[in-house]
Structure formats: structure tokens, C-alpha cells
Structure 1
Amino acid sequence: MKKSNFLCLIGVLIGTNTACFAENLFDANRTNLTGDWNGERTALADKGIKFDASSNLDIAYLADGGYKPRQEPTYVSQLSLGSTLDLEKMMDLKGVSVRALIMARQGQSVSVEQISDPHAPQLANVQANYGRGNSGTRLAELSIEKSFSNAGTSIRVGRFAMGTYFNVMSCDFQNNSFCGAQMGKWQGSKWINAPVSQWAVMSKYNFTPEAYIQLGVFEYNPKNLEESEGWNFGTKDADGVNIPVEFVWQPKQAINNLSGIYRIGAFYNTANDLKNQKDIVTGEPKSHTYGVWGVVEQQLTQKDLTNQGLYGFMNFSFHDRTTNKVENMQQVGLKYIGLLDRHPNDILGLAINRIHVSNRYRQVHQNINADAEYNIEMNYSYFPTKWLMLRPNIQYVVNPGATNHVNNALVLGLSSKIVF
């Protein structure tokens, strides 16, 4: 790494201000904080070795309402360290690649500690990077993929999360009801998102360059969720499997001849141990559960043949009301990328989410007396450079936890991301 780049990095870490910030770190073409390592990063990539790292921070302050209002702001952080190895370039193994990812989270949640009634926890979370391990590190992925170019097929085997490849959506909001694989939010006892990984195998078949179908089999092992099991490779506590299937269409010319992404899928879980799978009302043992989802992300307008313009997105899901308290979810939102010409990567976003609790569950839980929780967020994602994002946001939660015993919550937030 160049000495000037190294000094700039040290300056960022200790919070000093030097001239090299403007000259190097905030170069418009710079895509990461640590630079190209004096050309070594590009040289390694040409040989098939790529590194990626990022740090996310979600700060939230409960300005009004909630269960325990007027406390201090809280923060949640996530550090990700990953690598991708192209074994075709490295070892002449055609179509073979290896992906590894380590993640670490820490911090406290405004949703858990201030907004939620303990008997009716908020269904969403105003800080998307909270949960699924809040101490130590986790192996989020270690997988190998083989692509068969002639057949348009690929197979991936190893440890990874369901939401890494299924039910995927962009993440341009701080509230987790608008960020990442939604099934992991509303049926999270069975569908497990990153940073938790599971033993799995999946296959993808491309019908055309714009359409494919994918199928997976994921070990269901609730042991992986425990704080101390971030590097658990055992299968002793496994109880059945999750089987997701998804059809994905990515047209380059859809509405207004602009690109979009359309997903529809379902998953089936076969757990049958009473402690893992039961009727949430009667407590009777059950042998399966299921969920269905749909995702739409579509560019609606375009400015000067760039990615600048208005985008719309929509998500929905339906769940087994026998084994899951959330019966369905709907979400809609708009994003405008590059509203200001001088800031072509900035994003202005607005979205609303509705999470409906099943009637049969509410009938036996009288503290949950509203049919749904609503989450609303408006934000502005500011990119002073490609490797740094700052996202001030305002959130409003109606009926947190699907109960009107808790006041609606007004939350002021600030999230950030640094790409190393």
C-alpha cells in the first residue's frame, strides 16, 4: 500500500484531518477506502483473488412514543470481511469459485429496549443490522460453486444463509422491514438470514439470460442461532430441512423499456420436533410449515441513459397461520437515484410496510389487539464518495407489536456504510 494511502487510513481511524483526505480518499473514482494497494489489489483480482470488506452502523433515537420513551440513542454495528476465489484463473478449474464471508455484529436495539412491550415485541426493527448474533464473529458463508456454461446451470454447496440467494432485495433503508430477505423477518424461526449460515446445497437453471429458476435444500438447525455457535459445523441438533424454490425474471426492458427484477417463490420446512414446530395456539405438534413471497423492483424513469431516475418496489408474503403468528405482509416504496446532478449516486427513499398478525393468534393473546403493525421510513442516502454512505432518516411505527397499548413511535436515525 502506498505510504500516503496508509497515512490516510490511520487518519480516518483516529479521526484526524489531513490534506490527503481531499487528494486521495475523496477521489471521485475511488471505490473503497483502502485504495488499490499500490496496484496489488488489481493484480490479485486478475489472478482470481478478490477481497471485500465493509462496516455498517445504525444509530436510532426514540424521539416520541414507544414503551419506554426518552432514553439515550442506541447503535448497532456490523463488520463484514469476505473473499471470492476464482479457481478457473487460479487452478484452471473451469467455472469453479469459492466464497467466504465472516460477519460480526454488536450493539443494542431501540426496538427491543425502548419501543417494544415485552409481551408484544415490535415485529420489525428500526435498526436493520441488529440480531442473529450480537457477540463475537460468525461464519456467514463458506461455499463452492460450479457453473456449467453449456447447460446454463450452476450448483453451490457449503454453508450459507437462505436470504443470501433467495428472496433477495436491495437494502436502501435503515428499518429492516425494507431491507434484505423479508421471509427472515416474518417467519424467522424457520427462515434464517445472514450472518447465520447453514449447511446447504442449491442449484440454478437459466432459461434465458433474463430468467432462471433456483432450488435449495438447507439444514434446519436451531442450534446455529445461539450466540456461542457462530462457528458451529455440527449437525447433531438438526431437525429437518428448509426447501426454497424461486423463479426470477430480470428484464432489461420492462416498464418504459427500463430494467427490473421480479421474484416469486415459496419454501417448505420439515421440522417435526415439538420444541421447533407446533401449532402456535393449541401447542399441538406439527410436521411442517411454509411461506410464499413476491418481490418487484422496477426502474420507472431514466435520466440521460444512466441509472438516475425513479424506482418503485413492492414486496409481499403469506405464511402458515397455524405455525406462525404473522399471516401476511405487504410493502411498497419509491426511490429516486441522483435527484441532484452533482450527486448522481444519492438516493431519496420513502416506503411503508404492513405486517398482519393472524386473527387466531390474536384471539388468545389479548395484549396483541391490533390487526397489524405499520412501519414508515423516509431517508436520504448521501454518497460523498463511492466508498462512504451516510443515511439520515425519519421513521414512524404505528401499533408497535400490533398493539395499541404502546404509543406510536417516532424514531430519528442515521445509518452509515464504509467500503474498505
Structure 2
Amino acid sequence: MKKSNFLCLIGVLIGTNTVCFAESLFDVNRTNLTGDWGGERTALADKGIKFDGSSNLDIAYLADGGYAPRQDPTYVSQFSLGSILDLEKLLNVDGVSVRALVMARQGQSVSVEQISDPQAPQLANVQANYGRGNSGTRLAELSIEKNFRNAATSIRVGRFAMGTYFNVMSCDFQNNSFCGAQMGKWQGSKWINAPVSQWALMSKYSFNPEAFIQFGVFEYNPKNLEESEGWNFSTNDADGVNIPVEFVWQPKKGINELPGIYRLGGFYNTAHDVKNQKDIVTGEPQDHTYGMWGVAEQQLTQKDSTHQGLYAFMNFSFHDQTTNKVENMQQMGLKYVGLLNHHPNDIVGFAVNRVDVSDRYSQIHQVLNKEAEYNIELNYSYFPMKWLMLRPNIQYVINPGATNYVDNALVLGLSSKIIF
């Protein structure tokens, strides 16, 4: 290894990285903060070793309304570091790769501490990176995938989260009702998103390059949710499994001959211990629960044959009213990518979400005197560099927690992301 490359790698590890920063930090084509490590990063990728990392920060200030407004802003951070090993390149093992990802979250949420009435917590969260944190690191994924190319089939096994591969949607907003796998927001006691991982197996079959079906079997172990259990490999507290099934269509030429992605799926949970699965009204033990979802993301217009243009998205879900507080959810929004030609990656986003509380549940909780909570966000994602994003945003929460005993909340936010 050349001396400069060696110094570059050492710099990455200890955080100085002055050799790598000799490359122009402000090169518009630079895709990550740490650069190419003097060419070593590309050389490793060619050999089958890829690294990825990012740091996210969500800041929120409750400007008006809510339960306790005009306190200090709060912040939530997330750090992730991962790798992909292509064993076909490294060891000549056909179609096999290994994914590893470690995540850490810290901070406190305006939704939890200032917007929510303790008797009626806000259903969404104005800081998407909140939750499952404040406990050091978590193993978010350690999995091995085998692609059977001739059979158009793949199998993945290991530890990973349901929302990493099922009910996936983009994340261009700070409010979590517009970010990531929505099933984990509205049925989160059973559907578990990253950074929490579970023992799992999933398989995917491709009908053609634009359509596939996938299913999985995930250990359901509520012990994994505890903040001190980020590296829990034990199955001692497991209680049944989650079984998701999803059909995905991703046309290259959909509406207006432009690309899109559409998802339709459902999951079934077999937990039967009364402490994990019970009727939310009577408290009687249950032996299953379920949920269903649909996702659509579609580019509607295109500027000069690029990714710039108008995009629309929507998401809906339905949930078992016997065991779940939320009955259904609807979400829709618009994004315009590259409104200004000299900032082709910037995004203007606007979205509205409605979360409907089950009538069965609200009838015995009189504080929940509104049938739904609404979340609205307007933002601008500014990319001064490809590796740096700043997202000022305005959010408005109507009936936080599905009650009018708490004033509607006006939130000012700022998200940032750095790609390493």
C-alpha cells in the first residue's frame, strides 16, 4: 500500500484525515465527506469491500401549542457505520454477499416531552430518528444473501429489521409519519424497524426486472426493544414470529413514461403470551394480530431527461382493531427535485398524514375525543454538496394524540445528514 493511502486510512480511523482532505472537500462530484482515501476506497470496492457511514441530526422547537410549548429545542442524533462484502469477488463464492450495519441513537424528542399529554401521547414523532436509543450502539443488521440468478430467486438470513426490506419508502422529511417503513410507526409493538434487529429469514422471487414478490419469517422477541439489548442474540424471550408478504412493482416507464415503485403487502404475528398479545379493551389474551399496507411513489414530470421533476407519493395501512390502538393511516405528499438548475439535488417537500385511532380503544379512553391525529410538513432539503444535506422544515400537528385537550402544535425543525 502506498504511504499516502496508508496515512489516509489512519486519518479516517482517528478523525484527522488531513491527507484525504487534500482532495477538494467542496468538489461538487464528491459523494462522501472522507473522499476516496487516496484511491484506496475504490480499490477496496473493486475487490468486493464497501464501507458506508452517515450521521443524522434532527432539531425541533415547539413554537406554539402542544402540552408544554416554548421550552428549549431538543435534538435527536443517529450514527451508522456499515459494510458490504461481495464474497463472489473476495472468495469466488457465486452470488453471495454479507451486510453488516451498526447504529447508535441519542437525544430527546419534542413530541414526547413537550407536545404529548401523558394520557394521550402523540401518535407520530416530529423527529424521525428518535427511539430505540440512548444506550450505546445496536447491531442493526448482520446478514448473508445468496442470489440464485438462473432461478431469479434470492435468500437472506441473519439479523435485520422488518422495515429494512418490507414496506420501504424514501425518507425526505423530518416527521416520522413521512419517513421509512410506516408499519413500524402504527403497529410498532409487533413490527420492529431499525435500529432494532431480529433473527430472520426472507426470500424474494423476481417475475421480471420490474416485479417481484417477497416473504419473510422474523423472530418476535420484545426483549430486543429494550434500550440495554442492542446486541441481544438470545431467543429466550421470543414469543412467536412475524410473517410479512409483499408484492413490489417498479416500472421504469409508469405514469407519463416515468419510473415509479408500488408496494402491497401484509403481515401476521403469532405472539400468544398475554403480556405481548391481548385485546386492547378487555385485556383478554389473543394468539395473533395482523396489518396491511400499500405504498406508491411515482415521478410525474421530468426536466431535461434527468431525475429533476415532480414526484408524488402515498402510503396507507390497516391494522387489527382487537389488538392495536391505531385502526388505519393515510399519507400523501409531493416532492420537487431540482427546482433550481444550479441545485439539481435539492428537494422541496410537502406532505399530509392522518392517523385514525380505533373506536374500540377511544371509547374506553375518553381523553381521546378526536378520531384522528394529523401531521403536516413543508420542507426544503438543501444539498450544498452531495455528502451534506440541510433540511429546514415547518410542521403542524392537529389533534396531537387524537385529542383536543392538547392545542395544535407548530414545530420549527432542522435536519442534517453527513455521508462519510
TM bracket (short chain): over 0.9
Q: SS of 2:24's equivalent?
A: helix
In structure 2, the CA distance between the partners of 1:8 and 1:221, relative to structure 1 (3 Å rule), is closer
Per the alignment, residue 198 of structure 2 pairs with 198
Q: Is 1:48–1:86's contact at 8 Å kept on the other side of the alignment?
A: yes
Amino acid corresponding to residue 232 of structure 1 in structure 2: N
In structure 2, the CA distance between the partners of 1:120 and 1:333, relative to structure 1 (3 Å rule), is same
Deviation by residue 1:70-96 (Cα, 9 ceiling, x = unmatched): 100000000000000000000000000
Give how far 1:134 is off.
2.3
In structure 2, the CA distance between the partners of 1:105 and 1:279, relative to structure 1 (3 Å rule), is same
Deviation by residue 1:50-107 (Cα, 9 ceiling, x = unmatched): 0000000000000000001110000000000000000000000000000000000000
Per the alignment, residue 36 of structure 2 pairs with 36
Q: Is 2:391–2:416's contact at 8 Å kept on the other side of the alignment?
A: yes
Per the alignment, residue 373 of structure 2 pairs with 373
Amino acid corresponding to residue 75 of structure 2 in structure 1: Y
| Pair 1:299-2:299 in alignment | yes
TM-score, structure 1 length as denominator? 0.96
CA distance in 2, matches of 1:304, 1:265: 35
Amino acid corresponding to residue 203 of structure 1 in structure 2: S
In structure 2, the CA distance between the partners of 1:6 and 1:150, relative to structure 1 (3 Å rule), is closer
1:18-417 aligned within 5 A: 24-417=24-417
Q: Is 2:53–2:419's contact at 8 Å kept on the other side of the alignment?
A: yes
Q: SS of 2:185's equivalent?
A: helix
Q: Is 2:140–2:161's contact at 8 Å kept on the other side of the alignment?
A: yes
Q: Is 2:351–2:377's contact at 8 Å kept on the other side of the alignment?
A: yes
Deviation by residue 1:279-319 (Cα, 9 ceiling, x = unmatched): 00000000000000000000000000000000000000000
Amino acid corresponding to residue 388 of structure 2 in structure 1: L
Q: Is 2:9–2:37's contact at 8 Å kept on the other side of the alignment?
A: no
Q: Is 2:214–2:245's contact at 8 Å kept on the other side of the alignment?
A: yes
Amino acid corresponding to residue 74 of structure 2 in structure 1: T
Q: SS of 1:38's equivalent?
A: helix
Q: Is 1:132–1:196's contact at 8 Å kept on the other side of the alignment?
A: yes
Amino acid corresponding to residue 343 of structure 1 in structure 2: H
Give how far 1:22 is off.
11
CA distance in 1, matches of 2:333, 2:219: 33
CA distance in 1, matches of 2:150, 2:12: 45
CA distance in 2, matches of 1:197, 1:211: 27
Deviation by residue 1:190-237 (Cα, 9 ceiling, x = unmatched): 000000000000000000000000000000000000011000000000
In structure 2, the CA distance between the partners of 1:293 and 1:13, relative to structure 1 (3 Å rule), is farther
Query: Percent identity of the aligned residues?
Result: 82
Give how far 1:4 is off.
11
CA distance in 2, matches of 1:3, 1:287: 57
Give how far 1:8 is off.
10
Give how far 1:126 is off.
0.2
CA distance in 1, matches of 2:181, 2:395: 20
Q: SS of 1:40's equivalent?
A: helix
Give how far 1:133 is off.
2.5
CA distance in 2, matches of 1:297, 1:95: 29
Deviation by residue 1:86-145 (Cα, 9 ceiling, x = unmatched): 000000000000000000000000000000001100000000000022221000000000
Q: Is 2:5–2:39's contact at 8 Å kept on the other side of the alignment?
A: no
Q: Is 1:269–1:289's contact at 8 Å kept on the other side of the alignment?
A: yes
Query: Gaps spanning 5+ residues in structure 1: where?
Result: none
Amino acid corresponding to residue 229 of structure 1 in structure 2: E
Q: Is 1:98–1:142's contact at 8 Å kept on the other side of the alignment?
A: yes
Give how far 1:27 is off.
0.2
Q: Is 1:313–1:333's contact at 8 Å kept on the other side of the alignment?
A: yes
TM-score, structure 2 length as denominator? 0.96
Q: Tell me how large the CA RMSD over aligned residues is.
A: 2.0
Amino acid corresponding to residue 186 of structure 2 in structure 1: W
- Aligned residues, how many? 416
Q: Is 1:133–1:226's contact at 8 Å kept on the other side of the alignment?
A: no
Q: Is 2:21–2:35's contact at 8 Å kept on the other side of the alignment?
A: no
Give how far 1:5 is off.
7.5
What stretches of structure 1 move > 6 A for 4+ residues in a row?
2-10, 20-23
CA distance in 1, matches of 2:161, 2:418: 23
Q: SS of 2:151's equivalent?
A: coil
Amino acid corresponding to residue 79 of structure 1 in structure 2: F
Q: SS of 1:130's equivalent?
A: coil
In structure 2, the CA distance between the partners of 1:86 and 1:123, relative to structure 1 (3 Å rule), is same
Give how far 1:28 is off.
0.7
In structure 2, the CA distance between the partners of 1:27 and 1:6, relative to structure 1 (3 Å rule), is farther
CA distance in 1, matches of 2:166, 2:322: 24
Q: Is 2:101–2:140's contact at 8 Å kept on the other side of the alignment?
A: yes
CA distance in 2, matches of 1:412, 1:150: 51
Deviation by residue 1:357-393 (Cα, 9 ceiling, x = unmatched): 0111100000111000000000000000000000000
Amino acid corresponding to residue 162 of structure 2 in structure 1: M
